Amino acid sequence: MLIVETIGRIRRESLVKGKGIREIARDLGVSRNTVRKVLRSGATAFDYERTVLRRPQLGQWVGELDRMLLANEAKAARERLTLIRIHEALRALGYAGS
């Protein structure tokens, strides 16, 4: 069984450095068939799929938050709300996040 480090080294030697299968096998001390198998398989492909999609806690408040930020942007610099005040206003409307 190959460890992830060896698989990564095989792929790096081939894809980045452009070495051949025979040369990689000789350098790393593994068989050519093993090198071929690693290169053909997507063993170290970086793909990840969540089983449960997370719903953002702020999702239903995005419209209200955008409205507040646009109104805040139109005010003079001294009259603008701080982030703490915006958070308090959202909490007053029923937002339960922290």
| pLDDT recorded at residue 44 | 62
Which SS3 state, helix, strand or coil, does residue 65 take? helix
Read off the pLDDT band of 41 (50, 70, 90). confident
**Structure token pair of residue 98:** 């922290």
User: Averaged over 54-74, what is the pLDDT?
Assistant: 87
Neighbours of 28 (CB within 10 A): 14
| pLDDT recorded at residue 45 | 61
Considering only residues 45 and 29, tell me which one the structure prediction assigns the higher pLDDT: 29
Angle 81-87-89 from CA coordinates, rounded to 5°: 75
Instruction: Tell me the H-state helices in 16-54.
Output: 21-28, 32-40
Whole-model pTM: value is: 0.44
